[in-house]
Structure 1
Amino acid sequence: MNASQTTIQLDRIFGALADSTRRAILDRAYRGEVTVNELVAGFDLSQPTISKHLKVLERAGLISRGREAQFRPVRIEAPALAGADRWLGAYRRLWEDRLGRLDRVVEDLKQQGDA
C-alpha cells in the first residue's frame, strides 16, 4: 500500500471510529460474530440504519461479513485496527517521552525544595 492509499485507509478508519454507534458495534463484534438482526435488537435501531453503519465499518476494513445460509455474520478485522494502532504508536511514544521529561523536571524541583 502506498502513502496515499495508507492515508485514505486511515481516514476511513478514523472516520468510522468517530461515531459512537460504530464503536459499539465493533465492541460487540469483538466478543464474537454477530448478525444484523442481533445488532438491530441490541441497539434499538432500524435495520437500514445498522446496515449503513456496517457499510462504513466494512469500507474502512474494520469488519467483514460472511455468508452462512441466510445469515451474514459480522466479524471484526484486526489488521485494520493494527494499522491504526501503528500510526497512533508514534504519537504515543512522543507523549510518553514528553511525560518522562516532565517527571524528571518535577523530581528535580522536589529535590531542590528538599535541599
Structure 2
Amino acid sequence: MSDVTPPASAPVPPAPAAPAASDGKTLGIVALVSVFFISLLGLILGFVARGQSKKAGVKNTPATVAIVLGFIFLALTILWIVIAVAGFSALVSQCAELGTGVHTLDNGVTVTCG
C-alpha cells in the first residue's frame, strides 16, 4: 500500500467586512444646504443625520443647525401660506360684493373681477 496524503483543503475566505456605519456628517451638510430650498426635507435629513451621529458617538453641528433652521423656515412657510390664503379669500369676497368688471376702491386700489 502506498502512503497517500489527503489533499490540503482550500483556505476559508474571510467573511465580507460589514460596511462602516456613517457618522452622519456628510448627511448633516446635505441637510444644511437643502433646508434653504426645501425646509421640510432639510429638517428630516437633519434629524436622520443627527441620529447617525449619535450612534457613532460624534457631534454633528451642521445637522443641529439644519434642524433649527428647518423649524424656523417651516414656520415662516406656513405663515406665508396662511397670509396668502387670507389675502386670496379677501379678494374673492370683495369681488363677490362688487361683481364682474374693473372697480376702483375708496383707497384708490383698482380691483379687476372676472
Q: Do the two structures share a fold, i.e. TM-score over 0.5? A: no
TM-score, length basis structure 1: 0.33
Q: Which has the larger radius of gyration?
A: 2
- Give the structure with the higher percent helix: 1
What's the TM-score once normalised by structure 2's chain length? 0.34
